[in-house]
Amino acid sequence: MQKGFLVLIIGILSSYSWGQKSHRHNALSLSEFGFMAGGSYYIGDLNQAHFKNTNIAGQLLYRYNINARLAYRANFTYGKIEGYDSQQRGDFFQNRNLSFQSDLFEFGTGIEVTYFPFEIGNKKYKGTAYLLAELSLTRINPKADYNGGLVELQPLGTEGQGTELADRKKYSRIQLGVPMAVGVRLSLSQNIALNIEYGIRFLFTDYLDDVGGYRYADPLLLAASNGPTSAALGNRSLDANRFAQRGNRATRDWYTFFGIGLMFRLGGKGSCPQPR
């Protein structure tokens, strides 16, 4: 994650530096508001296939254009992710038999840099690709189907979190994240632009799917500490082997948002510092 974030930042700074040398623009619409509709999915212990179990997702976003190539951006994103061992290939996954689903509520803010100068309604600068780097807060809430209903997993401590059975506390349902994205912008009219984007979100937790520990907790001790439901959902393996591998601590979970939508220019043009 750190390497990918560093590469994106270097790309943004290089792109912006190039723009300072190549473009000067005198009037710019400062603010834009819009939306995107698309999909979200997750990659982690319970799914390794891109676009599998994609769910409908949406985003509201605001841009403040610092100049024709650099913008401040804030966005609110809703998505849903899910994963099922029963859909994965391999005897290990079929036997482990875990599953989850979670609604995601994300607020992100950061900077966006275009490859070429861009302004809605400007015939000379009517299209560009862009890079986005943000920090975000995301509310996660993994749930599993149990006895005909959905059960929230975080309060259960299914790996013994928060007890002497584990070396970790219960994870928070509010997580810091690093959204990174690439996209395309096309001016459609004097006040409207098309926005297409694909982005990934790295969170500072491995419990997006409630699976982070390497081994199962002792079911009898877990039931005594966190209750029988915790023990039942902590180990759902078909062979009930408590010494088998549960999760993979070497990799982190992440999720994506991709979408297409419209941006609307707010107000008229204003003056602001421009690249030189």
According to CATH, the topology of domain 2-270 is: Porin (2.40.160)
Where residue 251 falls among pLDDT bands split at 50, 70, 90?
confident
pLDDT in tens, 156-183: 999 999 999 998 999 999 999 999 999 9
Q: In this predicted model, what pLDDT tens digit does every residue of 35-77 receive, in sequence order?
A: 999 999 999 999 999 999 999 999 999 999 999 999 999 999 9
Alpha carbon distance 37, 61 (integer Å): 11
What predicted TM-score, i.e. pTM, was given to this entire model? 0.87
Nearest-angstrom CA–CA distance, 28 and 266? 11
- What is residue 269's predicted lDDT score, i.e. its pLDDT? 57
68: phi then psi, degrees, rounded to nearest 5: -75, -5
Question: Cβ(195)–Cβ(269) under 8 Å?
Answer: no
Would you give the end-to-end CA distance of the chain in angstroms? 33
Mean of the per-residue pLDDT values of the chain: 90
Q: Which pLDDT band holds residue 273 (cuts at 50, 70, 90)?
A: very low
